[in-house]
């Protein structure tokens, strides 16, 4: 597995994970995508640019613990997800969050909500994603939960892009301890390519999708 062609994301001044994300989207050409970690919508815009230029029938579901109110695109569905962490722990990695804005509701439109999936299946004729970008909370516990959830939501022949690997964050530890050594995952490390130096992202293709 290799992302051979370098697609520079036009809005990125420096080479970073946005180039990896944009290159993956352009070359893998997924229709149904998921983003875990909306934050301020920067990477959501990358998906939108990809849809506009390469995949008019594309659709993105993006989720976070806080609503981002500036998304206005018919190809994007934003969902509010329940935080894996208490606020004080969450704030260490998300300094812009205020406690009142963080969702902890058990009744939230979480990504395993049956009603949500029924609506999605009606809209998109699918309940699986061909491409999932994980860029939420970077603690090991949260990334592990997000990754396992992603495996259950991934279509056959689908891909997962994990942000901030390699790094000194716990998400990087999780990758090197629990993903890379396992034969059921084919991994492409962008850092191995000279052009992608500094990108900090890993593309993962499971060789077997859980039933």
User: Tens digit of pLDDT for each residue in 57-102?
Assistant: 999 988 887 778 888 888 998 887 766 666 566 555 555 555 555 5
Across 8-18, average pLDDT:
64
pTM score over 0.75 = yes
pLDDT by residue (tens digit) across 157-196?
Answer: 899 999 888 888 888 899 999 999 999 999 998 877 776 7
pLDDT confidence of residue 95: 55
Backbone dihedral region for residue 157 (phi beyond 0: left; psi -120 to 50: alpha; all else: beta) = left
β-pair partners for 35: 62, 133
């Amino acid at each position: 597995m290799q992302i051979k062609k370098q697609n520079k994301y036009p809005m990125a001044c420096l080479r970073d994970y946005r180039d990896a994300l944009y290159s993956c989207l352009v070359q893998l050409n997924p229709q149904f995508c998921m983003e875990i970690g909306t934050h301020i919508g920067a990477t959501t815009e990358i998906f939108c640019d990809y849809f506009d230029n390469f995949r008019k029938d594309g659709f993105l579901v993006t989720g976070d613990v806080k609503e981002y109110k500036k998304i206005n695109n018919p190809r994007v569905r934003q969902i509010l997800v329940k935080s894996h962490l208490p606020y004080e722990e969450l704030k260490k990695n998300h300094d812009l969050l205020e406690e009142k804005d963080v969702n902890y509701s058990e009744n939230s439109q979480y990504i395993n909500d049956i009603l949500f999936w029924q609506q999605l299946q009606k809209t998109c004729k699918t309940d699986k994603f061909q491409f999932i970008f994980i860029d939420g909370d970077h603690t090991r516990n949260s990334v592990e939960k997000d990754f396992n959830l992603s495996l259950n939501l991934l279509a056959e022949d689908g891909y997962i892009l994990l942000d901030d690997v390699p790094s000194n964050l716990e998400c990087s530890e999780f990758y090197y301890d629990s993903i890379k050594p396992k034969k059921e995952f084919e991994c492409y490390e962008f850092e191995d390519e000279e052009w992608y130096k500094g990108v900090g992202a890993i593309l993962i293709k499971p060789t077997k999708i859980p039933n």
